[in-house]
Amino acid sequence: MTDKWEAIDGESHKKRVCYFFDSDIGGFHYGPGHPMKPTRIRMCHSLVMNYGLYKKMEIFRAKPATKREMTQFHSDEYVDFLSKITPSNMNSFVKEQHKYNVGDDCPVFDGLFEYCSISAGGSMEGAARLSRDKCDIAINWAGGLHHAKKSEASGFCYVNDIVLGILELLRYHNRVLYIDIDVHHGDGVEEAFYTTDRVMTVSFHKYGEYFPGTGELRDVGISKGKYYALNFPLRDGISDDNYKSVFEPVIRSVMETYDPSAIVLQCGTDSLSGDKLGCLNLSMRGHANCVRFVKSFNKPLLLLGGGGYTMRNVSRAWAFETGLAAGVELAPDIPVNEYYEYFGPDYELDVKSSNTDDLNSLAYLDRVKRIVLENLRHTGGPPSAQMTDIPSMPIDAALEDPNEDEDMDDPDDRRPMRLLDSRRQADGELSDSEDEGEGGRRDHTSHKEFSSRNLGEGAHKFGMGVGILASSTGATHGAGPSGHTNVARIPAKSSSPAMDVDTPSSDSAAAEAVASSVVNAAVSTPPPSAPANASAAATPSSQTEASKAGAGAISKVAEAMEVDSEGSAKSKPEPPAPSS
């Protein structure tokens, strides 16, 4: 098959493009008469394949997003509702439908949750591949659903894949720029990042008695995010030249001032001329010029879909912009494909502007542009300075080669907790004292070798461990209304070598049993009716009695131990434990 494109002159270097498509996306249907048609994604893919663009990029079918992944932004209750509701049981969720704004513009249809999962999965995986330097440009035309809120569907959007994708980018990038060229304001994305300076949102949209009614020039963000939300309200019928005259200066200033390390571009095609719901007058090439200009900054770029309700024009524009991302310009004649009849009667790729009046005067555009640039100057330069390098690979990649020499790793690289927990302490690596090798307690091995001169000290430490030798206040820890003994509250011994330095030797197990029984008898337990702080309020006489009981217990421990000439401990037969 002859290639139906030509290379674009002036490309500094070839871009690595990842293109995400799931064939199931075209099988969903919002309902009869609804303007949103998921089939447009399949039509676009048919053009992409028949133009031969598969030779210029990698094509992936993303793993659908899970409920847990969606709850990184959306509320658990909302995601759970989306996963449960179907046309057959929707009458059981009347209250929830009203709460989550599902039912009118955002209807319930078969496979609703699967549709949302496919859309979100492509954007999240595209962002992940960008962050891991697997590609330079990632494309998901099934994404771009910018109206969905944390716990509310809106504007044909249920799950905000854009926010989920940006959150994925923020794991590796300090600052992310979001640009929206849909005819509608990207209210869901702006709202999600309205209080942070790590994401700057820039939206060019129709404003004034138009859905969603947000995106006023004065909406600039709050708190740390003040002046990091930029809105450029437009009037009906803007032309290619006027759109370019405001888009390029604003985006250039944003790039110079904010200096993002990644860009997300929502390419809603309802800003094209002739759209069923749009009111602007951009041609396909005027719309694609935005993609070309943003691409020229050579930043990791995530291209997403969005609005667009004249299917043949949507598929034309996105196919053309896919070619631009891959560094080629598609031929004007549409190749034969399964949707060929939709592109008649001219069967050409271009979408031309109409003769609609442009209500955006030069004076109006200059005034708005001046205000937007003034707001941008208030940001004061790039925030959130990063002092260390951001990892270029996922954190799990550190576990891929278990035989890798850790001494050769960069000490500034972050390591997963699982890798740190897998380390073990070698015997002799650390010491409790400077007289190493002289019989003292050093490590796991030498701790097991008791000497006669350390027996008294060891018994003293054992008494402290079980709570006999209390602090100067005379309090006995562990005795309370529950009636549990102190020995039951001794911390469990870890099996790891790093924790074995406090583990008594196996030869002294019998002696411990004797001491435990003596301690149980020596420590008095308040009756159930006593207050919880009874032991803390002990009288001086009771403190003296507790000290005597402790001393008696220590002496019985010493009697139970017989030290041979080699310094090893042996235990005598265990006497019967006295009843408490």
Question: And the tokens for 403?
Answer: 């035989």
State how beta strands 137-140 and 17-20 pair: parallel
> What is the maximal distance between C-alpha atoms in the chain?
109
What's the Cα-to-Cα distance from 567 to each of 104, 455, 564, rounded to whole Å?
Answer: 85, 10, 6
The secondary structure of residue 566, as a DSSP letter, is: T
Phi then psi for 560, rounded to 5 degrees? Answer: -75, -10
What's the Cα-to-Cα distance from 551 to each of 324, 438, 475, 510, 524, rounded to whole Å?
Answer: 86, 30, 15, 20, 15
Q: What is the rounded (10 degree) CA torsion for 221, 223, 226, 228?
A: -80
Whether residue 269 contacts residue 314, with contact meaning beta carbons closer than 8 Å, is answered with: yes
Whether residue 323 contacts residue 329, with contact meaning beta carbons closer than 8 Å, is answered with: yes
Q: What is the number of alpha carbons within 13 Å of residue 420 lying toward its C-beta?
A: 6
Burial (Cβ within 10 Å: 0-12, 13-18, ≥19) of residue 205: buried
C-beta atoms surrounding 383 within 10 Å: 16
C-beta atoms surrounding 306 within 10 Å: 27
- Is residue 29 annotated as a catalytic residue, yes or no? no
Whether residue 468 contacts residue 554, with contact meaning beta carbons closer than 8 Å, is answered with: yes
| Amino acid letter, residue 255 | M
Beta bridge partners of 205: 233
Q: Which of 147, 173, 205, 447 is catalytic?
A: 147
Q: Could you give the CA distance from residue 93 to residue 110 in angstroms, rounded to a whole number?
A: 15
Q: Give how far the C-alpha of residue 359 lies from the chain's centroid of Cα atoms, to the nearest Å.
A: 42
Residues that are catalytic: 147
